[in-house]
Structure 1
Amino acid sequence: MMENRKKILLVEDDEAVGYLLSEYLQMKGFSVSWAKHGKDAIVKLDQSKFDLAVLDVMMPEMDGFTLAEKINKDYPDLPFIFLTAKSLKVDVLKGFYLGAVDYLKKPIDEEELVIRIENLLSRLEIPVNKKQEVDAFIIGKYRFNSLNQELIFDDQKINLTVKESELLKYLVEKMNLLCPHKDILIKIWGKNDYFNKKSLNVFITRLRKFLERDPNIKIENVHSKGYILRYEP
């Protein structure tokens, strides 16, 4: 049973909060490795493979945003969520821009954290009966491998985050069709709310930048309705 436990990297500098969350998550069946600052987290990432990282934003030496940039660069297949005491919209959106799949505001409700983690892991997991799904696509002059989270133009490779890859795959599978905001948010984020819609806008901007080298590819915004990934050779 132990080898089937999902491995969580918890990065939290507050001793009381870190101890409480670590113990609670382990009690709920997760294998938890607690890092007390960003540099410690990097050491643990080099030593072990994790299913999800939970990052505090406000930490000394290396804050959660800086650590997230490091994860995006060196561990692009690792999803992460933020714990933050900062309630400003700009901070929440920055977290989503960096690739966070979710966020929770402090003080943390332990039960809500467990539910969020379980929902995220269930969405990210590839069911056995779906492993034969198509994961390689041609988008104009690009090659896209959703399984490896790679977007390739000529010999230039872009490593996508989990969320970028999921969103691009969703749009590609509905090429030239309207993808309503609500459908995208429920499918990729698991819920349709204000902050996730703002996060979706950020990710669309990033995908547009990645795809800008082929002028025949456009992600169109249909006002108040959704997005269309168009390819017109």
Structure 2
Amino acid sequence: MDNKIRLLLAEDEPSLGQIVKESLETRNFKVTHALNGEEAYEYYKNNEFDILVLDVMMPKKDGFTLAKEIRNENKNIPIIFLTAKSQTKDVIDGFNHGGNDYLKKPFSMEELIIRAYSLLDRVTVKNNFQNIVIGQYIFNYEKQKLIFNDENFLLTHRESELLFHLTQRKNEILDRSFILNKLWGDDDFFNARSMDVFISKLRKKLKKDQNIQIINIRGYGYKLMC
């Protein structure tokens, strides 16, 4: 039985793509290499993959556009962006388009492999917790929604990710810097303010159960109490 990790690599530089492909294939990956965004999307539609590695700047369809289209169909598959850009805005754009991680060129193969395995481990954990009980709510991670009696509250991708991490440390402190770096790519002031907004949105959606609180532990992070 073939238990290799199925990886789709979208990289328009043929030589770099071939090097990455060959290196990964020595480490238990089965790699399909696409030279542009349109070709990558065709491969994605016609095959099954465990993880995607997408160059941001590609002909025909860039990596952000490709990731956004894929996220409309699959909320869970891990996506790593490869890019020569590393400004905070570029990183934020990557996460806003559905990316899970961001790797700046030039990169080491060891770093790519470690990041890929880390994301795959997180997906395995999440797949074991499709329905999470939060007080009187049911949190369906796969469908990104909260259920309270007969009411459904749809969550955005980032709301769902943030709530998942809060539930995994229920009644414990979720470190502020950790979650900012995981979901926003940087723990700067502006991202911290953005996260505060998302926390407020989650509080409103969870307010029907008065025993649920998301407490701000100043200087440390947040705690989901229920």
What TM-score do the two structures reach when normalised by structure 2?
A: 0.76
Answer yes or no: is 1:123 the counterpart of 2:109.
no
Answer yes or no: is 1:223 the counterpart of 2:200.
no
Answer yes or no: is 1:150 the counterpart of 2:144.
yes
CA–CA separation in structure 1 for the residues paired with 2:73 and 2:10: 17
**Cα distance, 1:5 vs structure 2:** 0.4
Match of 1:9 in 2: 8
- Does the 8 Å contact 1:164/1:203 carry over to 2? no
**Cα distance, 1:32 vs structure 2:** 0.7
Q: Residues 135 and 143 of structure 1: is their aligned pair in 2 closer, same or farther, counting only changes over 3 Å?
A: closer
- Does the 8 Å contact 1:149/1:160 carry over to 2? no
The answer for unaligned runs of 5 or more in structure 2 is none
CA–CA separation in structure 2 for the residues paired with 1:182 and 1:57: 26
Question: Deviating runs (4+, > 6 A) in structure 1?
Answer: none
Of the structure 1 ranges 38-47 and 117-126, higher mean CA displacement relative to structure 2 is found in: 117-126
Match of 1:43 in 2: 42
SS at 1:87's partner residue? coil
Answer yes or no: is 1:179 the counterpart of 2:174.
yes
SS at 2:75's partner residue? coil
CA–CA separation in structure 1 for the residues paired with 2:13 and 2:203: 41
Q: Residues 156 and 215 of structure 1: is their aligned pair in 2 closer, same or farther, counting only changes over 3 Å?
A: closer
The answer for unaligned runs of 5 or more in structure 1 is none
- Does the 8 Å contact 1:76/1:159 carry over to 2? no
Q: 1:158 is aligned with what amino acid? A: L
- Does the 8 Å contact 2:54/2:81 carry over to 1? yes
SS at 2:44's partner residue? helix
Q: 1:77 is aligned with what amino acid? A: N
What TM-score do the two structures reach when normalised by structure 1?
A: 0.74
Answer yes or no: is 1:197 the counterpart of 2:196.
no
- Does the 8 Å contact 1:5/1:31 carry over to 2? yes
CA–CA separation in structure 2 for the residues paired with 1:79 and 1:32: 15
**Cα distance, 1:177 vs structure 2:** 4.8
Q: 1:53 is aligned with what amino acid? A: L
Task: Note the 1:160-171 alignment, pairs <5 A.
Answer: 161=157, 165=160, 167-171=162-166
SS at 1:34's partner residue? strand
Q: 1:62 is aligned with what amino acid? A: K
Task: Note the 1:24-103 alignment, pairs <5 A.
Answer: 24-103=23-102
Q: Residues 107 and 64 of structure 1: is their aligned pair in 2 closer, same or farther, counting only changes over 3 Å?
A: same
Determine what percentage of the aligned residue pairs are the same residue.
Answer: 36
**Cα distance, 1:37 vs structure 2:** 1.6
Aligned length: 218
Q: 2:138 is aligned with what amino acid? A: R
